[in-house]
Amino acid sequence: MILEQKYISQVSLEHRKKFAQFFTPDNIAELMVNWVSNNNISNLLEPAFGLGIFSRLILKNNLNIKITGFEIDPNIYRIAKQNFKTFSNVNLLLEDYLFNDWETKYDAILCNPPYMKFHDYQNIKALEEIKKRLGINLTGFSNLYTLFLLKSIYQLKEGGKSAYLIPSEFLNSDYGKFVKEYLLKLKVLRHIIVFDFQQNIFNDASTTSALILLAKDKYEDEIGFSLIENKNQLTDIVKVIENYPNTQQTNSLYAENLDPNVKWRIYYQKQNSDQYNHLIPFNQIAKVVRGIATGANEYFIFNQKKAQKYCIEDTFLLPCITKSKDVTLPIFTSEHFDILKNRNANIFLFDAKQEVTNKNAINYIEMGVELGVNKKYLTSKRNPWWTLENRIPSPIWVGVFNRNKIKFVRNEANISNLTTFHCIYLVDNLFYNIEIDLFFAYLLTDIAQEIFNDNRREYGDGLKKFEPNDLNNSLILDLSILEQETKTIIIHLYHKYRYSVLQNKEEKTSIDKINDIFEGIYHKF
């Protein structure tokens, strides 16, 4: 990667992030080239050329191969053009791959595509192109790399092979369902290699990574899965590629048994929930929804000084947690809220009703119009634009992101929250009438953490995320089977723990004892 390292040292991170330029490590690039290499390759496509690491490797053994590369960054295009000027068989194009060259078919396609979320590229135009060409209705939240992958599958010749290095999040995300459906429908998926989530493949990107091996051949019945936890295990992938299509030494599943609607982690990673008996869906007990989304936090969020500045009365201020860091304990009371209030923390939202007669509130609304707040994406869809979402305070909050443990908070202050937390509401269910203290005590245990982690999303460097439906679709211990005496003991231990938290002497021994009780009842021994 000498060429790439030189480029990184000379080009700003800001520029590289703008064009999503994260270069493929040599050892991964070699695996990808080895997958597609054979004597029958006459042409190669690099949809996101960059500095052409795949082309450089393949030209070492095949000087006659015809190579086509696409690039949209004029800066890196000029450098690549200069480096490949002696190769008349390398055709580099300063064009957007998604909107060009649809009808050309290739023997081999190698790509480390740009990782851009829906708000960082012209997603509406791009999604319309995919729908027109492939007949696929992708969600507007689709990452750009999924569009590259789908187009490349379309362009792969019969008998051809392709390798894509992409974030593994699509395996376990909502928008990934459509991608998995397409891969299974076209019967091109051969092997998925998921890299250890604690170790980033790319130095400048916090993302998980997966190597997707594709082929248009007759070996479509089985799909292999590999989890790589350290670099030494890359030799296992070398064997997978060398032995293909023999799958006897790999963790392979019949394609017909793969379900695109579920998180595919179950196919390559042991599930923590398998250790326990008496599990029920979480949504039988509770419902998770996201917190309030204002669409313009800078305008709607208030502290006391801002309220004084604009003469906004308390009746127009909704008590609300706006930052996760403002909640440091698993129990949040009115006293904790008052402490934040006295610190002039941002703990209010401007909350005017539909019919506003208060002069100062009207003036603030008019100021919002002058600032164009009413024309932002979310506010423009509300009528009137200044009203907030109808979201009653939830008794329990759950953090969206975490690195070590999911953050659950008992909202005893009964105040609202922004999207920094999700809201948990207990549901009415005749069969599972669970006391909230018992339920929250369970959420604090290690067992709950383990089982929820089966449904996590991973973004690299140990960062985990839970969307509302990730929790809604998780499993939970069936607490209704507990004897009343056991419930009483657990609730007593929880109250002991709660008291220690409120005394600023958090004592987790009680939670450990609760965990032990659950282990004794539910664990498969």
Question: Residues near 331 by Cβ (< 8 Å), separated by ≥ 6?
Answer: 409, 410, 412, 498, 501, 502
Element (DSSP H or E) covering residue 240: helix 234-243
Length of the chain: 525
Task: Find out whether 208 and 167 touch, Cβ atoms under 8 Å.
Answer: yes
CA distances from 322 to 96, 226, 301, 329, 417 (A): 40, 40, 8, 15, 6
> What pLDDT is stored for residue 201 in this prediction?
53
Please, are residues 113 and 62 in contact by the beta-carbon 8 Å criterion? no
Q: Which helix (H) or strand (E) holds 158?
A: strand 156-166
- Residue position matching structure tokens 């909704």: 318
Amino acid identity, residue 102?
W
pLDDT reported for residue 387: 96
How far, rounded to the nearest angstrom, does the alpha carbon of residue 384 sit from its chain's CA centroid? 32
β-bridge partners, 409: 397
CA distances from 53 to 18, 172, 401, 482 (A): 20, 29, 34, 60
Q: Could you list the pLDDT tens digit for every one of the 525 residues in the chain?
A: 688 888 889 999 888 888 888 899 999 999 999 999 976 799 999 999 999 999 999 999 888 899 999 999 999 999 999 999 999 999 999 999 999 999 999 999 999 998 876 666 667 888 899 999 998 888 777 888 989 999 999 999 999 999 999 988 889 887 788 889 999 999 999 999 998 755 555 454 445 789 999 999 999 999 999 998 888 888 889 999 998 988 766 789 999 999 999 999 999 988 999 999 999 999 999 999 999 999 999 999 999 999 999 999 999 999 999 999 999 999 999 999 999 999 999 999 999 987 889 999 999 999 999 999 999 999 999 999 999 999 999 999 999 999 889 999 999 999 999 999 999 999 987 677 899 999 999 999 999 999 999 998 877 667 888 999 999 999 999 999 999 999 999 999 999 999 999 999 999 999 999 999 999 999 997
Cα distance between residue 504 and residue 498, in whole Å: 10
Q: The domain at 2-269 falls in which architecture? A: 3-Layer(aba) Sandwich (3.40)
Q: What is the pLDDT of residue 205?
A: 46
pTM, two decimals, is: 0.78
Chain centroid offset of residue 195 CA? 15
* DSSP three-state, residue 399: strand
Which spans in 320-427 are helix H?
A: 334-342, 359-370
Domain boundaries, the chain: 2-269, 270-285+427-525
